[in-house]
Structure 1
C-alpha cells in the first residue's frame, strides 16, 4: 500500500494540475494508480477532496483546506532535502531571495554582486512579491530569505534591520507653486496623490501614520512600482509618495522636487527576514553576513 506521505504528494500534484491524467504524467505514474491513491486518502480522511468536472477536477472546500497545509508541508520537505545537499558545500546549490520592488534596484544589487563574486556557482533565484506573499513563502520554505519594507509583525520570522528610509512626497514642475511653504497633511490630502498599491507595506505605513492624525489620504493613481511613482510624478500626473533614499537621482537632476510637509513621516526600516523554523543553508548564512557588514 502507498505510504501516507506519497498519498499527500499525489494529492498536491493533482490539485495543482487540476487533472488526474496531468498529475499522473507529472508524477510518472499511471492514471489508475493516481485515482486509487486519491480514493485511499479520501477513505482514510472520510471526506471528499475533489469534484469532477468536464475539464478535470477541482478541490472541494475540504480539499482546499487540506491543500493549504499539505502543499506547505511538501515544500518544506523539498526545501529540507535541498538544504541537506547544499550543506555539504557552500559552492553548490541555490539561494532563493524574495524582495519587494524598489529594494532590489536601489539596495540589493551591490550585495548580490559581492555574493556572486564570492560564490559564482551558487544559482541565484530572485522572486518579486508583496510582503504578505513573501512571508508566506518564507514559512513554506519556497524562498530562503526575504528583503522587505518594515514593519513586519510575525513571531515565526527572524528580522534584521539593514537601513533606515524616509517616506516623502515629490512633484514635477506643474506643482512647483506648492513648494513655497510646508504643507499640512490635510492640505496634502486634497491634492491628486500617486500611491503604491494598497497592499504594499510602504503605503500602509504612510496611510496608518497620517490616519493617526485624523487625516485620510486616497490615491488618484495607484501603481505597483516605485520607479513608476517617480516617472508619473515627473510628467505631472500628481504628487507621489516615494522613498527619499531611492529617489536621489530624480531629486538631484531637477526632474522632481520634494514637497515639504509641516510634520515629517517617521523613518522606518528595510531589512531581511527568514523563518525561525528552517535552518539557513551555508549560502544563505554567507549572504546574511554580507548584508550585516
Structure 2
C-alpha cells in the first residue's frame, strides 16, 4: 500500500477504535487493515495503537500523528469532493473574453441557456478587442474567447460559429447619392466612419479594400459598433458596420445599406481557445452547447 493509503487506514482505525469497523468502512478485510497498521508502525518505528479486548486506542505517539494525519486526509477528501463538483458542474467559473457587440447580438442567448442548465456556475465576462482577448487567453485571464475571425495564430483552436457580412450604411442626407449600385471607389470618397484601427473587424475590411488598390482615410474612428450606427444616423458620414448587428436600425428605417456593386467577402465569428491547455469543465460544456445549437 502507498503511504497515503496507510494513513487513510490509520485515521479510519483511530476514528472507529476498531479494526473490524474500519475494515467495514474501507471495504477491506480485517487482516488487511491489521497488516496496514503494522506496516505503518514498522516504517515509523513507533507503536501507534494499544490493542485491548475492548478495541484499539491511540498511544501518545499515535495521538500526535493522528492530529496531523487526520487533517491532511480530510483536506484530500474535500479536495476530491470539490474536484467532483467541478466535473459535475455543481460549482466552478466560466471565464469568457468577448466584445460588447458580439455579447449583445450573439452571445446572450447561449449564456442564458448555460445558466439555466448549470445555475451554480459563476460567470466572468471580460470585454475587449480580438487582440486583447487573445492576450487574455494566453495569460490565463479567460478560458475561451468569442472573437472576430479570421484569426491567424497557430496556437489557437478555432471553431467558426456564424458568418457575418460587412456593409456600409448611411442616413437620410446621403439618400440621393445611393440611388443605384456604387463601387468601393465611390464610397471611400465620402466621409467614412470606421472602428478604431486595432479592431480585427476594421483590419479585415481595410485589407480587402487595399487588395483592390484603394486606400481609406476615415474621418471618424470609433470604439464601438453602436457608435458607428449612431454617427451614421445623424449623417456624419457612411459607416462600415456588420449587417447582422445592425438589423434594428435597418429594419426601422433609421439607416440604409449602401448597394455595392461587389459585396465584401463574408467572415466569421467563433470560439477560440489554446490548443495546449485543456478547457475547464464549464468551458468545455459551454462550447458543446454552442456547437449543438448552431449545428
- State the number of aligned residues: 211
Matched residue of 2:95: which SS? strand
Q: Is 1:253 the equivalent of 2:252?
A: yes
Between the aligned partners of 1:184 and 1:173, the Cα distance in structure 2 is 20
- Unpaired runs of 5+ in structure 1? 1-82
Displacement of 1:87 in angstroms is 3.8
Q: Residue by residue, what CA displacement relative to the aligned partner does 1:259-281 show, whole Å, maximum 9, x if unpaired?
A: 11111100000000011111111
- Unpaired runs of 5+ in structure 2? 1-81
Q: Residue by residue, what CA displacement relative to the aligned partner does 1:130-150 show, whole Å, maximum 9, x if unpaired?
A: 111111111121101000000
Between the aligned partners of 1:220 and 1:200, the Cα distance in structure 2 is 16
Q: Which residue of 2 aligns with 1:276?
A: 275
Between the aligned partners of 2:133 and 2:283, the Cα distance in structure 1 is 16
Between the aligned partners of 2:160 and 2:199, the Cα distance in structure 1 is 18
1:205-244 aligned at under 5 Å gives the runs 205-244=204-243
Displacement of 1:89 in angstroms is 3.6
Between the aligned partners of 1:88 and 1:179, the Cα distance in structure 2 is 56
Matched residue of 1:187: which SS? helix
Between the aligned partners of 2:83 and 2:260, the Cα distance in structure 1 is 52
Displacement of 1:88 in angstroms is 4.1
Would the aligned equivalents of 1:86 and 1:282 in 2 still touch at CA under 8 Å? no
Between the aligned partners of 1:171 and 1:220, the Cα distance in structure 2 is 14
Would the aligned equivalents of 2:89 and 2:120 in 1 still touch at CA under 8 Å? no
TM-score for the superposition, normalised by structure 1:
0.70
Q: Residue by residue, what CA displacement relative to the aligned partner does 1:85-107 show, whole Å, maximum 9, x if unpaired?
A: 87444121111100023111000
Displacement of 1:199 in angstroms is 0.4
Q: Which residue of 1 aligns with 2:175?
A: 176
Between the aligned partners of 1:128 and 1:288, the Cα distance in structure 2 is 18
Please identify the structure whose Cα radius of gyration is greater: 2
Between the aligned partners of 1:99 and 1:151, the Cα distance in structure 2 is 15
Aligned CA distance change for structure 1 residues 84 and 154 (closer, same or farther; 3 Å): farther
Between the aligned partners of 1:250 and 1:233, the Cα distance in structure 2 is 10
C-alpha root-mean-square deviation of aligned residues, in Å? Answer: 1.4
Q: Which residue of 1 aligns with 2:68?
A: none
TM-score for the superposition, normalised by structure 2:
0.69
Moved more, 132-141 or 146-155: 132-141
Q: Which residue of 1 aligns with 2:127?
A: 128
Displacement of 1:194 in angstroms is 0.5
Would the aligned equivalents of 1:115 and 1:287 in 2 still touch at CA under 8 Å? yes
